[in-house]
Each structure stands twice: as structure tokens, then as C-alpha cells.
Amino acid sequence: MMKLFTSIFICAAALSVCSCSEETPKETYDCPINYASNFLAWDCPDNLAFPRIELKDWEKVPVVNGRMPTYEEAQNGTSLLYIDKEVKPELKDVEPYKMTLPRLAYFTNPRTKQKEVVIVIQLVQFKDYVWAGLRYVSGGNASAMMSELQFLLDDEIKMEIKKSIKNPNNNVGLLNKPSEN
């Protein structure tokens, strides 16, 4: 399984080794596991390529459903993860997870330790886990394992939208400000 982590061809929109704000290189990485892990669980709240979203408009966020995204879709923000199965044939069984997107979910941000609403824009089924690409309502993006998400029910969605309209200055996602580091 560790070999799988190191052999993923990754293209995350506006994400690179150095910074969340640089363009992602279009190459395959066979590198130390700690490098691959950065892509499997990243947190880019200050990624300007993913602007703030009004929670009431969450269903309008562009996504790819029913197929793996193209490289261009990973670059334009429609998805976050691109896997080139021709370059990495050992990933031939990796597929999109069968769930219509976008979806809203609660996610406990590992940096802020706060539970917040995120928009799930991509789910990818690997052999042993499901990877999730997330957009913060306040702007930016992140990734997590699907097991770290709690998908909102219809009544929870309505409640979160009402809260965001009633108090826009204390909107869902404002907890996710860039770190001071």
C-alpha cells in the first residue's frame, strides 16, 4: 500500500511541492512517502484559485461525475486529483467513487481543530480507501480520506444555509483562515 502512495500521478489544481499557490507540475512522482502524503492530505485555505463560495450556491460548484477527471479539469479547479493510468498502469483499478457530487460534509480541519462545512468536489476509490477533494466555503481547498467526512442530511444543509444567510460575518468556513506561519 505504501508503494501505491508513492506512485500516484498527481495534479492538484494550483498545488505544488512548495506552495498551494503555484501551478502543479505535470509529471509523475516516484518519491519518498512523506512527499506523497502531502498530496493525499493537504490543506490550502489561501489558494486563490478557489474563491469563497456562498453556501446557498454550493450546488453550482463545478465537478466531474461518473468518470475520472482530465488533466485540464484538475488544473481549472473542477477537480483536484488527476491520475494518468497510462503512466502508472498499477493504478488501473482506481476509479471515481460512485456518489453524485458536489456534496456538503462536516470536516474537522486538522490545522484549526474546528468542525466546518466543506464542499466535496471529488471522490476517488483506491484499493483500501476513498480519497476526497474538498473546497472550503471561505475559499481554498483541501483533501482528506472519506472516512474523515460526515455528509450532511437535507435538514442539516438547510440549517447551515440559514445560519450562513442570517449571520454572513460569522459564516461557515470563516474558521479556515490561513495559518500565521
d(CA 66, CA 5): 23
Give the pLDDT confidence score for residue 48 in this predicted structure: 83
Give the pLDDT confidence score for residue 49 in this predicted structure: 87
Residue segments in the chain with a per-residue pLDDT below the cut of 50: 1-19, 21-39, 171-181
Give the pLDDT confidence score for residue 73 in this predicted structure: 94
Question: What are the respective helix, strand and coil percentages of the chain, to the nearest 5?
Answer: 25, 20, 55
Cell of 12: 492538484
Give the pLDDT confidence score for residue 109 in this predicted structure: 87
- Cis peptide bond N-terminal to 102, omega within 30: yes
Q: Residue length, the chain?
A: 181
Give the pLDDT confidence score for residue 20 in this predicted structure: 56
Q: pTM higher than 0.85 for the full model?
A: no
CB of 45 closer than 8 Å to CB of 176: yes
Give the pLDDT confidence score for residue 36 in this predicted structure: 35
Q: At 163, which helix (H) or strand (E)?
A: helix 154-166
